[in-house]
């Protein structure tokens, strides 16, 4: 009734299942890499925004005048509400006419707080 030929064409069920298993493992790795890339992009976007805010804060300090030996802190408003800042003003030892100004911009919550620091001398 059924005639078995040695030249039958096609794949066996086992071959198809092995190929699908290999393909699913490869696709899972691609999906994980895409998720990691999205996380990295989000972190880079926050870091870039924090750096821009630090530069803006430093420019405002330069135009308004910098006091000696001071510490200021506060939070940004509106679209930058998730960011906070601290400004440290000090005089380096041996250089009383120079002021070291450090601006730190913080973001993040619950122990995962990160910051960008910008330092200038005036």
pTM of the entire structure? 0.70
**pLDDT for position 105:** 96
Q: Which residue has the higher pLDDT, 68 or 21?
A: 21
The overall average pLDDT reported for the chain is: 87
The DSSP line for 48-98 is HHHHHHHHHHHHHHHHH---SSEEEEEE--GGGTTEEEEEEEE--TT-TT-
Residues 16-59: pLDDT tens digits?
999 999 999 999 999 998 888 888 898 899 999 999 999 999 99
Domains of the chain: 13-121 (3.30.1300)
Ranking 17-26, 54-63, 76-85, 89-98 by mean pLDDT, the lowest is: 89-98
């Amino acid at each position: 009734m059924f005639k078995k030929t040695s030249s039958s064409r096609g794949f066996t069920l086992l071959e198809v299942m092995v190929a699908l298993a290999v393909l699913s493992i490869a696709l899972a790795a691609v999906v994980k890499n895409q998720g990691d890339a999205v996380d990295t992009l989000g972190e880079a976007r926050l870091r870039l925004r924090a750096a821009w805010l630090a530069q803006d804060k430093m420019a405002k300090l330069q135009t308004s005048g910098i006091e000696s030996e001071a510490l200021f802190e506060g939070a940004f408003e509106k679209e930058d509400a998730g960011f906070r800042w601290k400004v440290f003003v000090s005089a380096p030892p041996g250089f009383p006419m120079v002021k070291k100004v450090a601006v730190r911009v913080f973001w993040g919550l619950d122990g995962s707080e990160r910051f960008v620091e910008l330092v200038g001398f005036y």
